[in-house]
Amino acid sequence: MPETGKLYKCDQCGNVVEVKKSGGGELICCGEAMRQLSPEEAKSF
């Protein structure tokens, strides 16, 4: 389940999203699960 306040990235197209309110489920983009960015990666946003 995505965590509120965390950033997630699609490794296929590069989309980045921030979760404002987690409703459960999984973040999907380009047919694949998005990965949570590490604190170091998130600093660039």
Domain contains 13? yes
Q: What is the CATH number of the domain that holds 21?
A: 2.20.28
Specify the pLDDT at position 20. 96
Calculate what percentage of the chain has a pLDDT beyond 70. Answer: 100
Domain extent, residue 28, equals 7-42
18 domain residue, yes or no: yes
In a domain, 1, yes or no: no
Classify residue 15: in a domain, yes or no.
yes
Nearest of 9, 6, 1 to residue 39 by alpha carbon: 6
pLDDT at 24: 83
- Mean pLDDT, all residues of the chain: 95
* Residue 2, domain member (yes or no): no
What's the whole-number mean pLDDT along residues 16-36? 95
Q: Is the pTM of this model over 0.85?
A: yes
pLDDT at 1 over 90: no
- 3-class SS of residue 32: strand
Query: Mean pLDDT throughout 13-40?
Result: 95
* Tally of domains within the chain: 1
